[in-house]
Amino acid sequence: MPDNSSTTNGRKTIQSGIKHHNIDANELTKYALFLGGLDVTHDVLDSYDPFIGGKARIFMTRVPLFVEIGIPDALKKFKHILEYGNTSINGVNDIDVDTAPLSGGYVGRDFAIPTIAKDSTNQFTIETYEFSGRPISEVLHWWISGVIDFQTGFATYHGVDCEVKQSNHTAEFIYVVTDRTGRSDSIEYACMFANCFPTNIPKSYLNYQQGQAEIATMSLNFTCTVYESPQINEIAKQLLTKYQILMDSLDFCPKTKNVIEGLNGTHYDIETGTLKPNTAQ
């Protein structure tokens, strides 16, 4: 876990356990940034390294129980597509502070008192592609119609032996934003989306237009309640470590069935990208 004592005096903050601005305050304040004219020498760049987005992961850490019991294989594919096949994740909103006026005096002048701070994030959207056989639509339809039948409105769970209650038909996600390296020690932000339930089943891609043949895209909307904490930061680090993806194109493995014979009683297995001992004749 990174040492953040130099910037937070050992206190917990939203950046505890993940990447933080580790330049000493006395060092940072030596430079005038833009007001002193453009200065991009090494020491200034070291103090003012900009945040660059575009690297994020999402993990479905808890699946809807009745769906997992009823159609486990379909749900496994659905989960994998959302985690590894998404093209966009949106919904993180600003935290807004409400104020109330306190006034007095003959002229009734007032000033603002902060009263409530609210995170307005209450839904998020995952964009992905639909695939032949409609694996995304299949799970969404089964999930939603099992909780709210399209004809009767009853929660049937499609006959699955599972108690009907909120905890059994909602999901949880961990959303992680990293810097350009994508490593587990490079997390810029992490949060948890809890009490998640899909609010739509996209179908507009099924419409027909002469002369058009388009790839189907899906925008999946989920209700949620968002949480942020150092504990969630730590979970995000563990998830990135466990589900690490390819970082360096030089590590790419073609995964063919061919085998190249090597030296010293070993061969290079192209399918796995590893050296393996030769089988005794």
Per-residue pLDDT for the chain (281 aa), expressed as one digit of tens each? Answer: 444 444 567 788 889 889 887 777 777 777 777 777 777 888 777 777 888 888 999 999 999 999 999 999 999 999 999 999 999 999 999 999 999 999 998 898 999 999 999 999 999 999 999 999 999 999 999 999 999 999 999 999 999 999 999 999 999 999 999 998 888 888 999 999 999 999 999 999 999 999 988 999 999 999 999 999 999 999 999 999 988 887 778 777 776 666 666 666 777 676 776 777 877 54
Q: Do both 5 and 87 map to the same domain?
A: no
* Contact present, 19 and 2 (Cβ < 8 Å): yes
Q: Which of 93, 94, 99 is nearest to 114 (CA)?
A: 99
The answer to whether position 202 is within a domain reads: yes
The answer to whether position 189 is within a domain reads: yes
Tell me if residue 76 falls in helix, strand or coil: helix
The answer to whether position 82 is within a domain reads: yes
Q: Do both 59 and 170 map to the same domain?
A: yes
Quick count: other Cβ atoms within 10 Å of Cβ 147?
Answer: 22
Supply the range of the domain harboring residue 275: 249-281
User: Looking at the chain, which runs of residues are DSSP E strands?
Assistant: 56-62, 86-90, 95-104, 109-119, 123-129, 171-178, 187-198, 217-227, 259-261, 266-269, 274-277
Q: Do both 190 and 151 map to the same domain?
A: yes
Q: Do both 87 and 32 map to the same domain?
A: no
Q: Do both 61 and 155 map to the same domain?
A: yes
Q: Could you give the C-alpha distances from 54 to 176, 205, 214, in angstroms and in order? A: 11, 27, 26
Edge-to-edge order in the sheet of strand 266-269? 259-261, 266-269, 274-277
Structural domain ending residue among the three candidates 17, 33, 50 = 50
**How many structural domains are present in the chain?**
3
Q: Do both 201 and 277 map to the same domain?
A: no
Beta-bridge partner residues of 112: 101
Q: Do both 196 and 210 map to the same domain?
A: yes
| Residue where the block lists tokens 């070993």 | 266
The two three-digit tokens of residue 35, written as one number = 């007001």
Q: Do both 74 and 43 map to the same domain?
A: no
Q: Do both 172 and 270 map to the same domain?
A: no
Pairing assessment for the beta strands 259-261 and 123-129 based on DSSP bridges: unpaired
Q: Do both 66 and 1 map to the same domain?
A: no
Residues 270 and 277: their CA atoms lie apart, in Å, by 14
Q: Do both 138 and 184 map to the same domain?
A: yes
The answer to whether position 109 is within a domain reads: no
| Residue where the block lists tokens 């699955």 | 160
The answer to whether position 152 is within a domain reads: yes
Q: Do both 146 and 126 map to the same domain?
A: yes
> In the chain, which ranges are continuous DSSP H helix?
5-8, 25-28, 42-47, 65-70, 72-84, 135-147, 230-242
